[in-house]
Structure 1
């Protein structure tokens, strides 16, 4: 009989599956936390790239093709060359072949738009055409550019006639060519199909240009037409040095490319040119260094040398694209550190919450893990099992969050989002194993009692805290020194962004060390009290471990970030509002080039939302004293204008000092520049209409509502002569004046400006609005994580509190006393976090204020009518989050006491004993 050896038994329930099935709620909660955190972490770089790209494209659109297109050109200045060679250089093949090579070489480093790029030949001098039937605004004949640009048929619609043609053998001696004009040119200069324009020649008869077609641009604002706007729209130009400021038309005649050699017979000095229009839709903000380098290479570098090799050694380059990139870089450099403050703060709070979640799981399973260690489990094996158990939940959740971020916020740089989501998953995976290994280094079943009020921190913890404290203080000192010496931080310096986190770290370490001191001081006097709630709550408040640094750091960082963010957003709004008030001078402004109709003031006063109207007479070009310099003069009603100045807080003054008293000289308010120039002596002023007044400066103000600028005079309107006293502007005050009603009242005779419209106009870049949205979202997310950290802290102590209340109720403690006990127990820590967060936020704002300029963020310009906008503390942003922490803590404690009171004491005792 054969005896078979027993088969080796297989493990039916592996560790990971068993643990997940035993606590599905905890696994689901961890998955949700990791998924949300990974989503936010991955969405941040995608959102930053998205609004950065949109801001760059908006900057290029606002600048226009005239500034963003790179123009390469070569003049035909060498008249020693034979005529045949000069004609050959202007023929279509000589322009088209270099264009293909230039486009190919530049496109590798600077994405170009072949559809909007162009090449051709144009005259560099305007040619006066004296045909009498052409429009002459001031009796002056118009002047024309001759342009032979490729692709006219592809970029226009034919409205009349046909497109021009030219034979291939056109030369400088050709006497007649065909041309087209744009619809605007035809309308303004009275040109029709069949019209013949005679362009003066050089040592020959005029060149007859017959208009065979009128074309309408398909995309008039694109680079093909707008790099040289005269192609589509004629413009009026002034005669240089003419005191009458006479004007004449300047337009373009669109010749076919084969007709370019005929330009040599005129005095237009023709040149070949190649317009390289960037592909705006493919440009990205993060590629700005490479794009800037490519533009510099086209201006004076290898790419320009390639263009010269392809076309001619005389090729030159002209563009303002590098200036547009520099303006965008300045705006992004000012906004970036502010957004990074919220990003670093939120990331710190989120990391702390993930660590706290791991610590909560380790505390929940402390008995289980201690038993495993007592039975011989190694730290490596225990950490590996816990890592695998967490990774099964965290990695898929992080992938889900990454996918959601990718779908919600499309962006070009996916690796950054993947790295952020991966970092989230890694932190979530290592939180539980690291906490478990730290807590169970030595095998044992019973843990020592945690009592912060009586415990003495270990030397290892003291050394670690001192090291972190030294590093944080050193970084803060370096930041403060650099900020006060330079006035602003270097671009990309993350020390500014880390400052709130560093301040929060210092505050957390200091507060945790100082927290036991008042508890120890109050423990003995509280023991003599007759009631049980006070001494017991004070004793319970000290029953916390050294891990209280993490929740306190989360709360302090969140409060600091929220207060900092609120102060930034409030400061930006205040700066915009102040700039809008200074630009308009009131809540609304109705202004005309000449005197306003007599009844307009009453019509404006009756418009909805209008409270008061102040009439002002403005002479923009008054000449004081010798008449060599001009100074704007505003004639006002002293009482009404003084009320307006107080309302707007712009140059407030006493109306009595401006009132005309019948003296020879009118009292005047002046800007500092004007006051320094003319002093306090009386001096004459010649007004715009030729009238004279004599003024004497009696007050100096930096600004005044009626006039914007560094120089002005303000006098009593009743002292102005005749027509000079008629109002030219109405300054309106009121709550939300109706723009439609004001414009209807003005009736087209005056321009209407509103303070609210000017306020909205300052946010003209997606870089600003996108950064504000990201900042607000980051602050909101940080606040949510802070609330979650607070909940995790209270949840960790919830079982012990429930068991304590159950035991105390068996000893006669009432439900009301139980509620007071939990509230008083939670109150010291909540007050610590609230007060510490408020002080920390105030310190961080004071620390960063000298190095942060909100002007660029507020008005998208380095200069503002309101001057430099600095960061200031916002009391609401400081106090509201701190009070919310106290209210939330007290509310949770009261809710827990109420819920525990509804449950049976025996059940709570069993639950507490089991734990």
Structure 2
């Protein structure tokens, strides 16, 4: 009989064993890493997306006529033969040149071949003698001739047919066919079959017979914007005419191969190429390269290569560089604010990841101590812990990255990959590094590390002083340079880290101060008769030193959330203030001359209207030195309006007459500086005069939109000057549509404050930055809650065992609940109060150096002046109160749940742990 030897016992792999032993912890780590990796990866992609959208909006707003690159060349050299000159302007030659130009410019500046154009046009319009053309002031219409390629591809035929060319068109051709747009045909009375004659030079006149009327497929596109007259004719004022007479200016469209017929006309034809940028291929993050590429095409090496390739003396013109410069300025102003949000939330997320690793190391402290005592090497234990966390963290980070790519599809991949990789690396290293530091020496017992008795190590003091120096430098830089100091400000990471550094320093200071009240209260509490209070205080003082990291996470998260909330509050306040200053009230009804008699009553009956204040505004009243708007108001109603709006408030008695013919007036600072307090005459628009004396100075007033005004009692004006010209409406949720219906037919205009405010967001850069800050506030609050939960869950088993032991000694369930609540309150109150004070101090300290105007308001519309941070009570107090409520709630729930369980089982579980 054969006896088989038993198989050797093979130890199970470390990673598989640990994952099976604690699947819940592995799943929680994977979820934390996946969410954090998603947020880290989606941020740069979101910034890229709204940056691209902002650039595209800027290009669309500027229009194709400002964003395209226009190239022009004069007629061929007169020394060439007539045949060579005619060949140089034909459509196929111009198309070949266009292909060369697109290829040369497209290497650095993305261009759209389909939207680009080429052709020949007359540079001087010709006076037309046809009597049926309209003559508004007796002046003949003037027309251009354009032979532009691609008419059939960019238009729809509405009448007749597209123009054709004879077999051969030369400079001597006297009859050709043409087309006009629907706008040109309607304004100039041109029909299919109309013939227009253009004078020739040393030849017979050129007759153009209209064979078709076309409608542009994309009227605002680049093809039709090369020359606006191609699409729509316009009335032009005769230069230097004292009577300001007008005449029509338009264009006829010719086939591209009919261009040789223009050579002998009096219109001085030129060759041109319109190069349209490919808007979808332009990216906001590529601004330096785009600006350099446009400069190279306009007057740099690319233009020189174009001249060499085409053998033409090309001239280039474009306003694209101005559009890009304006967009770059807005991006440079908004970029630092986004960096502040990114650094703040990123710091909180990193602290939470480190805290998760540290808590895991503390939870497994006994296991790791035993391994080291039994001969486990430090590299071996650390390597196994790294492999254990990497198996969970790396796939979770990849999942978060994939989710970010699916959420925001079109963006650069490099930054999102780097961000997700950094999250994975931090998650993998947190547990091994903490274990490496804690177990670098073999110990059987480490002793208690009570926070009330612990003394900071010298290395910790050095690190804190280093952070303090960085924080001071960042705050000084932020207050000195601000966040809108120019394009370079976006790259100053120290400035962007200023709020986070201030929060971290404050957290470290609070951590050092935290043991002091615990030590001071320990001895008096020992003399109390009850057992719950002294025991809870003793338990709080014996918390492990690792509680420093959760407190740091809470304070940093609360500071970041409050700072983000103050940014959002500052933006909202600036927009509200700007809309209020622009409208003057919740709504405004203006008349061209005088309001209809029954309009105030109709407006009062409109939904949401509470008060209506009628004013008479003379915009062109004359003082002895200048033109100044004068507002005639009812003192009582207008004074109430100023108090309601907060714009230049004053008492009704200020405008009360003093018994003389001189009227008291409220004036702007500029008017007051010019006239002082002496009486002076003002001539009203109706010819009447009043004498006023300035008695109050206010920066603004609701009736006049501007910084120069006088406000007087309307009853002292003449009947004609006192007629109301505007209504200032106040109320809750004023209905703009209802106001317009009430004012319909009276020659009036209606402006609503809410609508004005909504119009201030004119760029995706602004709305995108605002959304990023909103997400930062939400993420910061979420990480604060997560940090608190991690801390309380870590202490849950030990607390459950404590309650079980105390119940065996007679502690009631109500006393157990109070014990856990009181034990958790010191750190919760410290985090809440410290976070609130730190956030408030951070906002007040950094507010002078942070300019929110670029985020809040359009660059061309900033009536409220500079927008700064505002202390938002909601973002300050709500997260702090949530920390206290959540802490107390979890402690109460834990005490209730522990009271329902068997005490013997809890004691065994506590002993095992």
- 1:264-301 Cα deviation digits (max 9, x unpaired): 44443322211111111122111122111111111211
TM-score by length of structure 2 reads 0.94
Give the superposition deviation at 1:194: 1.6
Partners in 2 of 1:509 and 1:531 — Cα distance? 34
Query: Does 2:842 match 1:844?
Result: yes
Asked if 1 retains the 8 angstrom alpha-carbon contact of 2:561 and 2:776, the reply is no
Deviation at 1:664, TM superposition (A): 5.4
Using the TM superposition, give the Cα deviation of residue 262 of structure 1 relative to its aligned residue in structure 2, in angstroms.
3.7
User: 1:100 deviation in Å?
Assistant: 1.1
In structure 1, what is the Cα distance between the partners aligned to 2:396 and 2:597? 72
Q: Please list, as runs of the form range in 1=range in 2, the aligned pairs for 1:197-276 lying within 5 A after superposition.
A: 197-201=196-200, 206-240=205-239, 245-276=244-275
> How far has the Cα of 1:667 moved from its partner?
4.7
Note the alpha carbon deviations across 1:430-452, whole angstroms, 9 max, x for none. 11111222221122332311212
- Return 5+ residue gaps in structure 1 as ranges: none
Measure the CA separation in 2 of the matches of 1:439 and 1:100: 69
Given candidates 777, 780, 783, the residue that maps to 2:778 is: 780
Farther-moved stretch of structure 1 (465-474 vs 187-196): 465-474
Deviations along 1:817-863, whole A, 9 cap, x unmatched?
A: 22222122111111111122112212222232122111110113165
Residue number among 800, 805, 808 corresponding to 1:807 in the alignment = 805
Residues 204 and 654 of structure 1: is their aligned pair in 2 closer, same or farther, counting only changes over 3 Å?
farther
What is the alpha-carbon distance in structure 1 between the residues aligned to residue 582 and residue 124 of structure 2? 40
Task: State how far apart, in whole Å, the 1-side matches of 2:659 and 2:144 are.
Answer: 61
Counterparts of 1:485 and 1:426, CA distance in 2: 34
Native 8 Å contact 1:350 1:785 kept in 2: yes
Distance 1:762 1:708 in 2: 17
Counterpart residue number, 1:691: 687
Separation of aligned partners in 1, 2:896 and 2:856: 49
Corresponding residue of 2:634 = 637
Whole-angstrom CA distance in 1 between matches of 2:135 and 2:150: 31
Question: SS in structure 2 opposite 1:491?
Answer: helix
Task: Pick closer, same or farther for the CA change 1:674–1:230 going to 2, 3 Å.
Answer: farther
Q: Aligned pairs, how many?
A: 911
Summarize the Cα distance change of 1:138–1:681 in structure 2 as closer, same or farther, 3 Å threshold: farther
Alpha-carbon distance, 1:31 to partner: 1.5
1:879 — aligned with what? 877
The one-character-per-residue Cα deviations of 1:469-519 (angstroms, maximum 9, x if unpaired) are 444444444444544997998232222321122112212222211111121
In structure 2, C-alpha distance between the alignment counterparts of 1:644 and 1:405, rounded to whole Å: 50
Q: Which residue of 2 aligns with 1:462?
A: 461
Q: Deviations over 1:539-562 (max 9, x none)?
A: 111112332232112111111111
Separation in 2, partners of 1:754, 1:406: 41
Q: Deviations over 1:65-87 (max 9, x none)?
A: 12111111234598898877665
Q: Is the 8 A contact 1:47 1:411 kept in 2?
A: no
- Return closer, same or farther for 1:422/1:67 CA change in 2, 3 Å cut-off: same
Look up the match of 2:373.
374
What CA distance in whole angstroms lies between the structure 2 residues aligned with 1:480 and 1:724? 50
The Cα of 1:234 is off from its aligned counterpart by 2.2
5 Å matches for 1:542-621?
A: 542-621=541-620
1:399 positional shift: 1.4
Q: CA deviation at 1:94?
A: 4.4
**Alpha-carbon contact 1:239-1:245 (below 8 Å) kept:** yes
Q: For 1:510-525, what aligned pairs fall within 5 Å after superposition?
A: 510-525=509-524
Aligned to 2:730: 733
Q: Distance in 2 between matches of 1:22 and 1:573?
A: 51
Q: CA deviation at 1:713?
A: 3.7
Moved more, 815-824 or 236-245: 236-245
In 2: Cα distance, 1:109 partner to 1:472 partner? 42
Distance 1:206 1:746, change over 3 A: farther
What are the ranges of 5 or more consecutive residues in structure 2 without an aligned counterpart? none
Structure 1, residues 662-698: CA drift from partner, whole Å, max 9, x if none? 965655444333444455555555555x624234342
Distance 1:168 1:556, change over 3 A: farther
Instruction: Assess, with a 3 A threshold, how the Cα gap between structure 1 residues 189 and 643 changes in structure 2: closer, same or farther.
Output: farther
Q: 1:159 to 1:874 in 2, by over 3 A?
A: same
Q: Name which of structure 1's ranges 256-265 and 327-336 shifts more when overlaid on structure 2.
A: 256-265
- Verify the 8 A CA contact 2:59 2:323 in the aligned structure 1: yes
Correspondence list, 1:405-804, <5 A: 405-483=404-482, 490-625=489-624, 630-658=627-655, 667-679=664-676, 685=682, 687-688=684-685, 691-698=687-694, 699-721=696-718, 723-748=720-745, 749-804=747-802
Q: What corresponds to 1:392 in structure 2?
A: 391
CA displacement at 1:730 relative to structure 2: 2.3
Structure 2: distance between partners of 1:153 and 1:634: 58
Quick one: distance in 2 between partners of 1:172 and 1:726?
Answer: 67
- Which 10-residue stretch deviates more, 307-316 or 486-495? 486-495
Q: Return closer, same or farther for 1:470/1:579 CA change in 2, 3 Å cut-off.
A: closer
1:50 alignment counterpart:
49
More moved, 468-477 vs 861-870: 468-477
**Cα contact 2:662–2:692 (8 A) shared by 1:** yes
Does residue 827 (structure 1) correspond to residue 828 (structure 2)? The answer is: no
Q: State the distance in 2 between where 1:898 and 1:101 align.
A: 81
Give the corresponding residue for 1:66: 65
Offset of residue 661 of structure 1: 7.5
Cα distance change of structure 1 residues 675 and 222 upon mapping to structure 2, 3 Å threshold: same
Q: Equivalents in 2 of 1:770, 1:165: separation in Å?
A: 51
Q: Give the 3-state SS of the residue equivalent to 1:892 in structure 2.
A: helix
Q: Which residue is 1:117 aligned to?
A: 116
User: Aligned partners of 1:43 and 1:898: how far apart in 2?
Assistant: 41
1:351 corresponds in structure 2 to 350
1:489–1:496 contact (8 Å) kept in structure 2: no
Quick one: structure 1 residues 239 and 756, their matched pair in 2 at CA, closer, same or farther if it must change by over 3 Å? farther
Cα drift, residue 377 of structure 1 = 0.5
Partner in structure 2 of residue 190 of structure 1: 189
Indicate how the Cα distance of structure 1 residues 704 and 472 shifts in structure 2: closer, same or farther if over 3 A, else same. closer
- The separation in 1 between residues aligned to 2:628 and 2:899, in whole angstroms, is 80
On the 8 A contact 1:675/1:697 being kept in 2, the answer is no
1:160, CA displacement in angstroms?
0.7
Shift of the 822–413 alpha-carbon distance from structure 1 to 2, 3 Å rule, reads same
When residues 561 and 592 of structure 1 are mapped into structure 2, their CA distance, relative to the original with a 3 A threshold, is same
For residues 84 and 632 of structure 1, what CA distance do their matches in structure 2 show? 68
Alignment partner, residue 868 of structure 2: 870
Q: 1:23-34 maps to which residues of 2 (within 5 A)?
A: 23-34=22-33
List per-residue Cα deviations over 1:144-183 (Å, max 9, x = no partner): 2322211011100010112223347545554443321111
Q: How far apart in 2 are the matches of 1:191 and 1:715?
A: 57
Q: Where does residue 327 of structure 2 map in the other structure? A: 328
Shift of the 711–267 alpha-carbon distance from structure 1 to 2, 3 Å rule, reads farther
Q: Compute the displacement of 1:320 (Å).
A: 1.6
Deviations 1:577-600 (A, max 9, x none): 111111112211222333332222
Give, in whole Å, the separation in 1 of the partners of 2:263 and 2:652. 70
678-687 or 369-378, which deviates more: 678-687
Whole-angstrom CA distance in 2 between matches of 1:596 and 1:139: 38
Tell me the C-alpha RMSD between the 2 structures.
2.8
Change (3 A) 1:269 1:545: farther
Give SS of 1:154's match: helix
- Asked if 1:308 is matched to 2:307, the reply is yes
**1:696-716 CA distances to partner (integer Å, 9 max, x unpaired)?**
342443222232234334444
